[in-house]
Copies of this chain bind each other. A is one copy, B any other.
Amino acid sequence: MNFTFSEEQNLFRDSIRRYLEETYPFENRAKTLEHPNGYPEELWQSLAELGWLALPFAEEYDGLGGSAVDSMIVMEEIGRVLLVSPFLSTVLLSGQLIAAAGSESQKRDLIPQIGAGQLKLALAFAEANSGYDLAHVSTSAVKEGNGYRLNGAKCAVFNAQSADIIIVVARTSGAVDDQEGLSLFRLDPTMDGLEIKNYRTHDGGTASDIVFEDLFIPDKALLGDVGTAYPHLQKVIDQASVALCAEASGAMWAISEQSGVYFKTREQFGQNLGSFQALQHRLVEVYMKCQLSQSLVYDAVCALDDFDVLEQSADGDTTNIAQKVSQKVSAAKYQVGLDARSVGQEGIQFHGGMGMMTELPIGHYYKRITMINATFGDPRYHLKRYRDTMCQSIISAT
């Protein structure tokens, strides 16, 4: 057992941090967010050059074969500086979904383009009434001639506005909550008949609500095999959930550190804030939450990597292991979400009136943390998911 990063990983983190510190200082945030998509186009090219966009993909698709640990490093650094970009949407959601579910030719076609920064994608999975349940899909795709007829609506499609391709989860068979019968389709956002409502999100990004009304799409828009999307979707969302936990963890550490600095410099009643014991003990709680949350991120990340290895060796039944991995993902998403929320609120409170001001990062961290909690399931949802699995294993234990 060891928790040491490899030398490569340390260098990778250093390069990311240096790049972001230089090109993405908080002072420029307001200006940067004025770009219609919340980020400047040149950023994307830089990320491609730095290797982020090819990071998790297999070498046969021009990827770098990075592990979940590597993705975590990127996301932690993103969290520290509040980077707004379609990295998650393109690489960790859509790209990974293509890698998991796509046909060989689709992978060969799309993944190298993603890695090279030539293609941005968005994943349309959530619906107005779906809550955080991935199987709840009422958008239907009905076979018709040499294609499908799409009806329904998706909400909160992150970065659809800047995407070249939107991947839509639609139901080709089964009832509205079935895990069976889900399929993936790639859509061109500029195609006729697509009704897209774009909006900005509270954390500086963009998202869209999309309505499909009798939209015809050709067979070749199908990604992977028909009706088999759910397990891939589930796995990719689990991976992306852990990535979001890493991002939240990065933000938590930043809040903790910035609060520490504020405590040492801000004077009230002739003393540094940090000399007040009630505040000291509360910052210690914040610090402990950062550590404990970090631990659950590591736990989930290592489980993902171990699962990948197991899956590749592919002997024996992986269902049980998959469930254990999902449980670790939920543990992290629950605890990190809860702790990040509390750390964010304490961070604002520690900064007093300044904590409310837009020119300090502290409130922006809180907004991002809140949005992370509203993505792929909030703490309540994941506690329930964890609990249900736990109860199942108590029952089946002898």
Which A residues are within 8 Å of any B CB, using their own CB? 276-278, 280-281
Residues of B within 8 A of A276 (CB): 277
CB distance from A273 to the nearest CB of B (A): 12
Task: Please measure, in the bound complex, the distance between the C-alpha atom of A281 and the C-alpha atom of B280, giving whole angstroms.
Answer: 12
- Give the complex CA separation of A136 and B276 in angstroms: 53
Complex CA–CA separation, A277 to B269 (angstroms)? 14
Closest residue on chain B to residue A279 by CB atoms: B277
Chain B residues, Cβ within 8 Å of A277: 276-278
Provide the bound-state CA to CA distance between A278 and B278, in Å. 4
Q: List 6 A-B contacts (CB under 8 A).
A: A276-B277, A277-B277, A277-B278, A278-B278, A278-B280, A278-B281
Min C-beta distance of A55 to chain B, whole Å:
44
Expressed in whole angstroms, the Cα–Cα distance for A161 and B278 within the complex equals 49
How far, in Å, is A102 (CB) from chain B's closest CB? 44
Question: Which B residues are in CB contact (< 8 Å) with A278?
Answer: 277-278, 280-281
Closest to A276 in B: B277
Docked Cα-Cα span, A277 to B276, in Å, equals 7
Nearest Cβ distance between residue A392 and chain B, in whole angstroms? 22
- Which chain B residues border A280 with CB–CB below 8 Å? 278
Minimum distance in angstroms from A332 CB to a CB of chain B: 26
Q: Nearest Cβ in chain B — how far from A371, in angstroms? A: 28
Residues of B within 8 A of A281 (CB): 278
The smallest C-beta distance from A97 to any residue of chain B, in angstroms, reads 38
* A393 to B278 Cα, complex, angstroms: 42
**Residue on B with the closest CB to A280?**
B278
Q: How distant is the Cα of A361 from the Cα of B277 in the complex, in angstroms?
A: 28
Give Cα A280–Cα B280 distance, bound, in whole angstroms.
13
- In angstroms, Cα B281 to Cα A281, docked, is 11
A308 to chain B, nearest CB (A): 40
What distance in Å separates the Cβ of A306 from its nearest Cβ neighbour in chain B?
Answer: 36
Q: List the 6 closest pairs (A to B, CB-CB), nearest first.
A: A277-B277, A277-B278, A278-B281, A278-B278, A276-B277, A278-B280
Measured CA separation A276–B278 after assembly (Å): 8
CA distance A280 to B277 in the complex (A): 10
Q: How far is the CA of A280 from the CA of B279 in the complex (A)?
A: 12
Instruction: Please give the distance in Å from A276's CB to the nearest CB on chain B.
Output: 6
Complex Cα–Cα for A278 and B280 (A):
8
Shortest CB–CB separation between residue A147 and chain B, in angstroms?
Answer: 44
User: What's the nearest-Cβ distance from chain B to residue A38, in Å?
Assistant: 38
* CB-CB nearest in chain B for A281: B278
Task: Name the distance in Å between A384's Cβ and chain B's nearest Cβ.
Answer: 16
A281 to B277, CA, bound (A): 10
Return A281 CB to nearest CB of chain B, in Å. 4
Task: Provide the bound-state CA to CA distance between A281 and B278, in Å.
Answer: 7
**Chain B residue with minimal CB distance to A282?**
B278
Q: Give A274 Cβ to nearest chain B Cβ, in Å.
A: 12
In the assembled complex, the Cα of A280 lies from the Cα of B278 at a distance in Å of 8
Chain B nearest CB from A194 CB (Å) reads 38
Distance between Cα atoms of A277 and B278 in the complex (Å)? 5
